[in-house]
Amino acid sequence: SKNIVVAIDGYSSCGKSTLAKALAKKLHFIYVDSGAMYRAVTLYFLRNKVDINNPEQVAEALKNIHLNFHSRDYQTHITLNDEEVSDEIRLMPVSQNVSPVSAIREVRKEMVAQQQRMGKSKNIVMDGRDIGTAVFPHAQVKLFMTADPHVRAQRRYKELQATNSDVTLEEIFENLAHRDYSDTTRKESPLMRAEDAIILDNTNITPEEQLAFALAKVEPFL
Ligand code: C5P
């Protein structure tokens, strides 16, 4: 029988990855954090001063970028040319530059191709912005997650504080608002709900409730 794909899309810091990880773990599916891929590409661009308005530089960079996941424990472990970058891609320099990088057509083409290969024959949960619309338009289950922007900023703030980051709540709020704006208004596969995606607003529901909700949607396909 065909492999099962669960696509989880939504705004920044809506708890997509928390739910995706829990779901993958429970079902013994592969978990892929597609945002981590765009973040790693952005880190490479920043380090190598790739001019995003120069198509040759972008193409050359994409040829030199090799990403790999090691998600054995259902956390995101990603390497960029064999270097572990899982922590660095969460920091502000990357967060502040990832949306323009991910809006580049050639970048998306390459990432989407890699993502589609990962979900070709395996049961998979993938989260991102265009998973249900562009990467896996035929996914059996599609969720579209939202939450109150202030609640989202607060959650991300707590997460980043744990890693001793000195970023402020206001900076995070601004960054989320800015990314949501860029991600929903860009030309190349903007963030939007697929027609057949189920909306999940998690402002007031616990991670356990979200997991139960998602499991119930996947169960008919198991
Ligand atoms: O999911 P995360 O917040 O880590 O994603 C970082 C950024 O990567 C998003 O703000 C968006 O610009 C981009 N992204 C994307 N398509 C995806 C996943 C992420 O454009 N499928």
- Whole-number Å distance, alpha carbon 101 to ligand 1 midpoint, is 10
* Mean pLDDT value across residues 15-39: 96
32-41, 153-162, 203-212: least confident range: 153-162
User: How many angstroms separate the Cα of 110 from the Cα of each of 35, 120, 153, 171?
Assistant: 14, 16, 30, 31
Closest C-alpha residue for ligand 1 atom 14? 35
Percentage of the chain modeled with pLDDT above 70: 100
Q: Residue 198 burial (CB < 10 Å; 0-12/13-18/19+)?
A: middle
- Residue 164 pLDDT more than 80? no
CA-nearest of 97, 123, 90 to 5 is 123
* Domain ranges, residue 191: 5-221
CA-nearest of 13, 177, 44, 188 to 102 is 188
User: How many angstroms separate the Cα of 207 from the Cα of each of 11, 14, 75, 112, 174?
Assistant: 17, 11, 16, 28, 25
Q: Token pair for residue 151?
A: 């609640």
Best of 34, 105, 133 for a ligand 1 pocket test (most atoms within 8 Å of beta carbon): 34
* Mean pLDDT value across residues 68-97: 92
Sign of CA dihedral 100, 106, 109, 112: negative
β-partners of residue 142 are 7
- Residue 26 pLDDT more than 80? yes
- The pLDDT assigned to 178 comes to 96
User: How many angstroms separate the Cα of 217 from the Cα of each of 5, 6, 86, 102, 145?
Assistant: 12, 10, 30, 30, 14
- Residue 34 pLDDT more than 80? yes
- Residue 71 pLDDT more than 70? no
Closest C-alpha residue for ligand 1 atom 6? 35
Q: How far is residue 188 CA from its own chain's centroid?
A: 16
Number of folded domains in the chain? 1
- What CATH code is carried by the domain that includes residue 10? 3.40.50.300
- The pLDDT assigned to 159 comes to 87
Q: Are strands 78-80 and 198-201 parallel, antiparallel or unpaired?
A: unpaired
* Mean pLDDT value across residues 80-87: 97
Confidence of residue 93 (pLDDT cuts 50, 70, 90): very high
Confidence of residue 162 (pLDDT cuts 50, 70, 90): confident
Structure ipTM over 0.95, yes or no: yes
- The pLDDT assigned to 161 comes to 87
CA-nearest of 48, 85, 53, 78 to 63 is 48
Q: Token pair for residue 201?
A: 């607003």
Residue 13 in marked binding region:
yes
- The pLDDT assigned to 166 comes to 86
C-alpha to C-alpha distance for 40 and 42, rounded to whole angstroms? 5
Q: Of ligand 1's atoms, which has the minimum distance to the CA of residue 36?
A: 4
